[in-house]
Amino acid sequence: MNISYESGGVIVDTPQVAYTYQVAETPRDFDKRTNSSGTLHWNNVQNYLGDYIIYPYGSNNDMPNIIKEVVDNSYNVPGFLKRKTELLWGAGPKLYRDEIVDGKDIRTRVNDTTVQAWLDSFKYEDYLLKCCVDYQHIQGVNTRFELNKGSRIGKPFINKVHHIQSDKARLARLRAAKEEIPTHMLIGTWNFRHINAITETKAYPLFDHNKPFAYDNSVIYSNMYTFCTDYYSVPDLYGSLEWINRSTAVPLIFKAFAKNSINLKYHIISPASFWDKKRDELKDKCRIENTTYSESMLKDYERKFLEQIGEVLSGSDNAGKYFHTNRKMVVMGHELIEEGWEIKVLDQKIKDFVEAQVMISDKADKAIAAGVNVHPVLANMTDSGKANSGGEQIYALLNYLNTGVDIQEMVITKPINYALKANFPNSGLKIGFFHNVPELQQNTNPADRTKNNQ
């Protein structure tokens, strides 16, 4: 018998039968990542830490971590988001000045050695790249402004801008504040996994662009506003989380089928309460025997239990009898949830099953591409056997450059452009992403066409 653990599930292979097995949480763990009724309702929720009232990001203050976990486990979403970052980055960030030429708004590239030296001093490209990645995941970026020591003697200057990870930054206000608007940002570890998480949390006042030198250190949260949502953005990915998980599950299902050339016959689901009860029983046994309980004991029991299931399932006469168990209804808030064991017989028509899973995966990919707002052509996602024409790709790119860049750029570059305006008020300089606009092949000289330059 071979037992392997795969992404929260188990594949069991015996000479007579193979099956997959999983434990269903109560409530199921995935519920916190879907559009459940309470997940988006954090506007009126407040947490407290010392002198501050914290505005949580997500109903459990873990929205960035939810997005990270789902994206990291996906086979295609990281590529989609990376492509969006590459499209936005283009030829990279450059200094420019807005000008009007013949009635048209024109960006004029500017080379300024003094300003460029300041940008290079804090590795501005690394900073902006991190901001681009944050924006594509969660539609917001966090930045800390650090003033030079000269600010104390009347020569203020923003020395550096620092990127802050989204999972560490939370908006807050003083408890004594009369208005319910953020005045500070707290930087810390919000999962509180170590004892110093609270004491190591740092509070910074929010940056005021009208008084850029008011504080030695200040923080700004620049984001894309979400309709009727206070303080934070709801990521574009949020509505696609269900599809992302469905898409991620398909390769695991195929892996189970392909592993050791086995054909799965059953899929078994057990309630988490069964294992919670068994854990309590093992702890009680350890107390009676004066021994120390460890989770490995439950793991050993699970392995033996899975072997017993395999033996039972190999005899078709026993399968139904063995899994004839009581089911019960559990009240969770306003919902009535059914608990109990479930055994599903998998259709052995492999061709039909595989085709169905491929269709699910294709539909999920298209839904994800729509959710992250990237054209399928630009995401290298096409119908099976179909190659995109160069013209189709160019038109998709031109449409993106004309409609999909400006707002992203405004949000991402807002902090560094505030710093530019504060440090060099008379220069009129800004920083933005420049792009090499492609041309259709028929509009270029034959000698300059791509096929002649390969």
Find the mean pLDDT for residues 307-312: 78
Kindly state the tokens that stand for 243. Answer: 């599809």
Q: CA Rg, the chain, in Å?
A: 28
Band the pLDDT of 29: cuts 50, 70, 90: very low
Per mean pLDDT, which of 28-32, 275-279, 328-332 is the most reliable? 275-279
| Distance (Å, whole) CA 358 – CA 247 | 9
The whole-angstrom separation of Cα 451 and Cα 442 is 12
Measured distance CA(232)–CA(235) in Å, rounded: 9
Alpha helices for 218-335 (secondary structure H): 241-258, 272-289, 295-313, 316-322
Look at residue 237 in the predicted model and tell me its pLDDT. 85
* pLDDT tens sequence across 114-154: 999 999 999 999 999 999 999 999 999 999 999 988 766 67
The mean-pLDDT minimum among 35-44, 151-160, 215-224, 375-384 falls in: 35-44
Q: Which residue has the higher pLDDT, 65 or 379?
A: 65
pLDDT at site 347: 64
Do 380 and 392 form a contact (C-beta atoms < 8 A)?
no
What's the rounded mean pLDDT across residues 288-308? 88
The whole-model pTM stands at: 0.69
Q: Are 173 and 185 in contact (CB under 8 A)?
A: no
For the chain, percent of residues with pLDDT exceeding 90: 35
- Pairing label, strands 335-339, 328-332: antiparallel
Q: What is the pLDDT of residue 27?
A: 37
For the cut 70, the answer to whether the pLDDT of residue 365 exceeds it is yes
Q: How far, CA to CA in Å, does 337 sit from each of 228, 269, 318? A: 31, 15, 28
> Quick check: 298 and 282 in contact, CB under 8 A?
yes
Confidence of residue 422 (pLDDT cuts 50, 70, 90): very high
- Pick the more confident residue, 104 or 355: 104
